[in-house]
Chain A
Amino acid sequence: MGVKEEEESGQFFNLVYTLAVKTLKLKYKNSLLGFMWSMINPLMYLLIFTFVFSNVFVGIDRYPLYALTGIVFWSFFSTSTIQVIESIINSSGVMKSMNVTKIAFPIGAQLSALFSLLLTMVPFLILMFIFGLQIGWESLLFFPILILFACFTFGLSLFLSALNVYFRDVQLAWTSLLPAIFYSAPIAFASNLIPAKYAWLIKLNPLYYFINLLRDVLYHNRLPDLQNTLIAIVISAISLVVGVFIFRRLEKGFVSQF
């Protein structure tokens, strides 16, 4: 029995891996600049923000670095969610005729987004150095924080992707909701610029906590705030558990909806 289980889990990992590679390949297959595109989008944002806001937010030290440490991860968040939502709809044909483990598709999509991010991190790190990034030993915390962030993103996307099979509005609603999430998170601005009266509002956005963590280690060069870390861990755990639970409940009916 042990052998069979091992074989099955090996099969599952192979499936996830194959799907992740496929998503990566497809993303850049027909474009000339290929993987450069995943950098151009955040760079555009950076340019705009630096141009528009540098003079407004004079209080923020090394503004381009500040903005970039937010934008890069925002871009990961938005691509991941969209890619995961699409992963289910795009493989409706396969799910309709083969007995595959459905959750492998969103996992593959999420991994490909994560891998994309790691690749673009190389040039972005160079850029961050130019903007005054300092590396300390606390910078190593970047990796566990990224994993935490990816777990949060994945749980949320999983939930959205399953719901989207039943109501295609989800995908459309999500694309219009994304800018709202973006502008209500302290990505281009600093949260202390928000009047105290509205400070609670910004804390409703889960991204707030993750962006803070990433900035702590990449921008402020300090250990993450304990309370903030705990909140981020709790949000990620809830997101993942709820996401997987909902997906498991809804996946049985996918075939009827395609």
Chain B
Amino acid sequence: MKEIAIKAVGLDVSFMVQRQGINNIKDFILTMGVKSPFEKKQVLRDLDLTIYKGECLGILGKNGSGKSTFLRTIAGVMEPDKGTLEVNGKIAPLMALGVGLEPELSGYENIKLVAVLMGMGKKEIKESINKIIEFSELSEEAIAMQVKRYSSGMMSRLAFSIAVATDPEILIIDEALAVGDLGFRKKCAQRINEIKESGSTILYVSHHLAEIKNICTRAIFLEGGKVKQEGSVEEICDLYESTLVKKKK
């Protein structure tokens, strides 16, 4: 019997967005009481999905199909309106390139900063800081340099190294690796495999089918905030390809 890492049942998630044209106080006051300044924009609709421990799930879908919103809900950043979401395990999110990195501070200072933001304790950081630097393969000089002088590849190295430093139970990767060079991407794939083998769960969003095929064990296709199909990696990649090509015609 496989253990459940994440289980979503009937999940509804929405954004509150300002009504068109109301984004300043003047309009707000003028329309006060007449209409609410916010309206709901639903992104995920009645989404059901079970993800098991040790799985590496590829998530495919068009832009705006709700991939990032789904990951954010799992990460606890957004709250569902309806439905239940069960998450078992500590999450390391890699949502966008260089989140939390402070351009003016050095790489070293940033490791500490982002590690704290990710919820690592002082002791953990102390123990893993050398491991992080080593994994990132950034030179001593680069680590002492301000992050604003980093290339995007170097930033993603740093961010990825911090995220995988303490074997996370659930690792979320949202197109964060796309900018690394070939060597580092191979290394990441290797580390992801290690993490997978240690029994952790990985959620991987990417538009690179080759990467998905390489890393993932199962995949889902999201459309309109719902899981349109789940199945083997090959099957879903084919579906993704055919859907996008059809759209182009």
**B-contacting residues of A (Cβ < 8 Å)?**
7, 10-11, 14-15, 18, 22, 25-26, 29-30, 93-100, 166-170, 173, 252-253, 255-257
Q: Which residues of A contact B96 (CB under 8 A)?
A: 93, 96-97
Q: Which residues of B contact A100 (CB under 8 A)?
A: 117, 119
The reply to whether B104 and A30 contact each other, CB–CB distance below 8 Å, is yes
> Interface with A: B16-24, B136-144, B231-239, which one?
B16-24
Mark contacts of B1-21 with chain A using CB atoms, 8 A cut-off: 1 yes-contact digit, 0 otherwise: 000000000000001111000
Contact of B189 with A by CB under 8 A:
no
Known: A97-B95, A256-B15. A167 touches B104 (CB 8 A): no
Q: Which residue of A lies closest to B94 (CB)?
A: A97
Q: How far is the CA of A169 from the CA of B28 in the complex (A)?
A: 11
Kindly identify which residue among B24, B109, B117 contacts A15, using a CB–CB cutoff of 8 Å. Answer: B117
The reply to whether B91 and A167 contact each other, CB–CB distance below 8 Å, is no
> Interface with A: B44-52, B70-78, B204-212, B220-228, which one?
B70-78
The reply to whether B99 and A94 contact each other, CB–CB distance below 8 Å, is yes
Q: How far is the CA of A100 from the CA of B120 in the complex (A)?
A: 11
Known: A26-B104, A93-B96, A99-B76. A256 touches B16 (CB 8 A): yes
Q: Which residue of B lies closest to A27 (CB)?
A: B104
The reply to whether B116 and A253 contact each other, CB–CB distance below 8 Å, is no
Contact of B93 with A by CB under 8 A:
yes
B residues 69-125 in Cβ contact with A at 8 Å: 72, 75-79, 91, 93, 95-96, 99-100, 102, 104-105, 109, 112-113, 116-119, 121-122
Known: A97-B72, A98-B99, A167-B25. A252 touches B119 (CB 8 A): no
Q: Which residues of A contact B79 (CB under 8 A)?
A: 252
The reply to whether A11 and B17 contact each other, CB–CB distance below 8 Å, is no
B84 to chain A, nearest CB (A): 18
The reply to whether B77 and A11 contact each other, CB–CB distance below 8 Å, is no
Known: A22-B102, A97-B93, A169-B25. A14 touches B75 (CB 8 A): no
Q: How far is the CA of A29 from the CA of B99 in the complex (A)?
A: 20
Q: How far is the CA of A18 from the CA of B121 in the complex (A)?
A: 12
Q: Which residue of B lies closest to A91 (CB)?
A: B100
Q: Most B CB atoms within 10 A — which of A95, A99, A173?
A: A99
The reply to whether A96 and B95 contact each other, CB–CB distance below 8 Å, is yes
The reply to whether B102 and A255 contact each other, CB–CB distance below 8 Å, is no
The reply to whether A22 and B99 contact each other, CB–CB distance below 8 Å, is no
Q: How far is the CA of A94 from the CA of B121 in the complex (A)?
A: 18
A78 to chain B, nearest CB (A): 21
Number of interface residues of B (CB under 8 A): 32
Mark contacts of B193-222 with chain A using CB atoms, 8 A cut-off: 1 yes-contact digit, 0 otherwise: 000000000000000000000000000000
Q: How far is the CA of A29 from the CA of B103 in the complex (A)?
A: 11
Q: Which residue of A lies closest to B122 (CB)?
A: A14
B77 to chain A, nearest CB (A): 6
Q: Which residue of A lies closest to B28 (CB)?
A: A167
Q: How far is the CA of A97 from the CA of B105 in the complex (A)?
A: 20
Known: A167-B28, A256-B16. A11 touches B119 (CB 8 A): yes
Q: How far is the CA of A232 from the CA of B104 in the complex (A)?
A: 39
Q: Which residue of B lies closest to A10 (CB)?
A: B121
A-B contact pairs, 5 of them (CB 8 A): A10-B122, A96-B72, A96-B96, A98-B99, A257-B16
The reply to whether A22 and B75 contact each other, CB–CB distance below 8 Å, is no
Q: Most B CB atoms within 10 A — which of A7, A30, A170, A257?
A: A257
The reply to whether B102 and A11 contact each other, CB–CB distance below 8 Å, is no
Known: A11-B119, A98-B77. A253 touches B16 (CB 8 A): yes
Q: Which residue of B lies closest to A253 (CB)?
A: B16
Kindly identify which residue among B24, B102, B121 contacts A169, using a CB–CB cutoff of 8 Å. Answer: B24
Q: Most A CB atoms within 10 A — which of B25, B28, B121?
A: B25
Q: Which residues of A contact B117 (CB under 8 A)?
A: 15, 94, 98, 100
The reply to whether A93 and B16 contact each other, CB–CB distance below 8 Å, is no
The reply to whether A99 and B91 contact each other, CB–CB distance below 8 Å, is yes
B158 to chain A, nearest CB (A): 15
Q: Most A CB atoms within 10 A — which of B76, B77, B96?
A: B77
Q: How far is the CA of A99 from the CA of B95 in the complex (A)?
A: 12
